[in-house]
């Protein structure tokens, strides 16, 4: 089976300087076809940031020369809950190219990308029951977001079109100019400090599987009436989270390359919740432990909130935003990107498995 490393733009200089990785967002240069798939490659280079918190490529319409909305285009939107920004526009099918200066490893993905025509700061999007517009707020018609969304298990009201076939790391059509097939390309990816490795092989999976290391088996994501996606979709990674001596609470976990902070939603009724002493939705102190499931595996993230040394070089997030409520469906944790300092992550899109190594 085939693979290709798509390096982060910052990775080489960071490695040379021995800098601590995953301190800020990473970017990957991409180029697009001038028109629909099969047309020639445009020379313009875009540098979106790599985001496991979303699914799909987001580019502003103003950055695409001569863009007009094609007849019959699909309306699209994504609401980013951390930044409270609503991106709305149109899903347009394109060839997307990676590693253009390395012909042996040039990757072409063929998929719909979200061309954004309106961008809105929308604090009450969820409360209003909004979709592609924000009640009472005028959008900016000069959007600025450039995002390479490669996350799995992200589909929900805020990202209703986060199907796996919108993920450029999975919708690969050629590597090094050679068409990939189900036999030659095992859909999935790995993330480490170098970049994104697309395609899982026996060789590149050795660090994850050696010694019979446990993996997390993801649950299948089933949609009413089907998803319209040709690829299997999976639910998020599961975890169990505790603060200090509180019982651990099971919840979905997002290992998010897009933010340096952590976002934690816990039950109001859990033991010890009132030690927080903060009215600004920030966790001021406490020892947080996140066990990544399966629970018999030794994979976890363990940190003391606000510890400067481990914020700088360990897994502690820059800040922990914290909410409590009584809705079990809303309990969740976003670890932020510092967890990637401890673990390399592999996602198998075919079998629905996640490894941390």
User: What are the Cα distances from residue 227, in Å, to 219, 224, 271, 328?
Assistant: 16, 8, 39, 25
- The pair of structure tokens assigned to 136 is 């009472």
Could you tell me if residue 202 is inside a domain? no
pLDDT value at residue 219: 95
CB 180 within 8 A of CB 158: no
Among the listed residues 62, 70, 35, the one whose alpha carbon sits nearest the alpha carbon of residue 46? 62
Among the listed residues 153, 28, 173, the one whose alpha carbon sits nearest the alpha carbon of residue 93? 173
Helix ranges (H only) for 100-162 are 125-128
- The pair of structure tokens assigned to 21 is 């990785």
Could you tell me if residue 212 is inside a domain? no
Could you tell me if residue 118 is inside a domain? yes
The answer on 152 and 20 residing in a single domain is: yes
The answer on 97 and 16 residing in a single domain is: yes
pLDDT value at residue 279: 57
Could you tell me if residue 207 is inside a domain? no
- The pLDDT tens digits of the residues spanning 324-349 come to 888 889 999 999 999 999 999 999 99
The answer on 131 and 263 residing in a single domain is: no
Q: What is the mean pLDDT of the chain?
A: 93
The last residue of a domain, from among 196, 225, 247: 196
CB 28 within 8 A of CB 5: no
SS3 306: coil
The answer on 177 and 56 residing in a single domain is: yes
The domain total for the chain is 2
The answer on 250 and 192 residing in a single domain is: no
Could you tell me if residue 84 is inside a domain? yes
pLDDT value at residue 271: 45
User: HSE-up of 300 (CA within 13 Å, CB side)?
Assistant: 14
Pairing mode of beta strands 107-121, 55-60:
parallel
The answer on 160 and 250 residing in a single domain is: no
Could you tell me if residue 227 is inside a domain? no
The answer on 255 and 183 residing in a single domain is: no
pLDDT value at residue 295: 60
The answer on 130 and 19 residing in a single domain is: yes
Q: What is the CATH number of the domain that holds 55?
A: 2.40.70
The last residue of a domain, from among 170, 196, 222: 196
Among the listed residues 138, 178, 148, the one whose alpha carbon sits nearest the alpha carbon of residue 27? 148
Could you tell me if residue 156 is inside a domain? yes
List of E strands, 45-145: 49-51, 55-60, 74-80, 85-98, 107-121
The answer on 150 and 23 residing in a single domain is: yes
Q: Which residues of the chain have pLDDT under 70?
A: 223-228, 269-279, 295-297
Among the listed residues 90, 91, 97, the one whose alpha carbon sits nearest the alpha carbon of residue 30? 97
What is the Cα–Cα distance from 167 to 199, expressed in whole angstroms? Answer: 13
pLDDT value at residue 285: 87
The answer on 179 and 66 residing in a single domain is: yes
User: Which residues are CB-contacts of 23 (< 8 A; sequence separation ≥ 6)?
Assistant: 260
Structural domain containing residue 58: 4-196
Could you tell me if residue 92 is inside a domain? yes
What is the Cα–Cα distance from 344 to 21, expressed in whole angstroms? Answer: 12
The answer on 244 and 149 residing in a single domain is: no
pLDDT value at residue 228: 65
Pairing mode of beta strands 320-325, 249-254:
unpaired
The last residue of a domain, from among 165, 196, 227: 196
The answer on 287 and 186 residing in a single domain is: no
The predicted model scores a pTM of 0.96
């Amino acid at each position: 089976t085939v693979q290709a490393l798509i390096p982060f733009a910052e990775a080489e200089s960071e490695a040379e300087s021995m800098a601590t990785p995953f301190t800020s967002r990473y970017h990957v240069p991409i180029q697009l076809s001038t028109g629909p798939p099969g047309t020639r490659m445009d020379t313009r280079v875009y540098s979106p940031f790599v985001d496991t918190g979303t699914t799909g490529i987001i580019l502003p319409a103003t950055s695409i020369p001569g863009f007009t909305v094609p007849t019959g285009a699909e309306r699209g939107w994504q609401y980013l809950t951390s930044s409270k920004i609503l991106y709305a526009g149109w899903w347009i099918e394109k060839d997307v190219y990676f590693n253009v200066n390395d012909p042996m490893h040039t990757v072409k993905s063929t998929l719909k990308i979200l061309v954004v025509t309106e961008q809105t700061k929308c604090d009450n999007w969820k409360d209003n029951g909004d979709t592609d517009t924000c009640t009472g707020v005028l959008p900016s018609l000069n959007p600025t977001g450039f995002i390479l969304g490669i996350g799995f298990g992200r589909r929900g009201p805020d990202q209703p079109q986060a199907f796996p076939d919108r993920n450029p790391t999975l919708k690969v059509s050629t590597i090094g100019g050679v068409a990939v097939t189900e036999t030659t390309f095992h859909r999935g990816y790995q993330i480490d400090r170098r970049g994104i490795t697309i395609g899982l092989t026996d060789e590149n999976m050795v660090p994850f599987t050696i010694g019979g290391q446990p993996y997390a088996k993801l649950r299948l994501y089933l949609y009413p009436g089907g998803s319209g996606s040709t690829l299997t979709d999976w639910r998020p990674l599961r975890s169990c989270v505790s603060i200090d001596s509180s019982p651990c609470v099971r919840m979905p976990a997002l290992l998010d390359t897009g933010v340096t902070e952590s976002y934690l939603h816990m039950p109001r009724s859990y033991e010890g919740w009132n030690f927080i002493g903060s009215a600004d939705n920030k966790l001021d102190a406490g020892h947080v432990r996140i066990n990544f499931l399966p629970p018999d595996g030794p994979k976890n993230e363990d940190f003391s909130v606000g510890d400067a040394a481990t914020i700088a070089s360990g897994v502690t997030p820059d800040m922990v935003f914290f909410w409590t409520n009584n809705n079990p469906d809303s309990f969740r944790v976003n670890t932020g990107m510092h967890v990637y300092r401890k673990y390399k992550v592999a996602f198998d899109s075919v079998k629905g498995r996640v490894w941390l190594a």
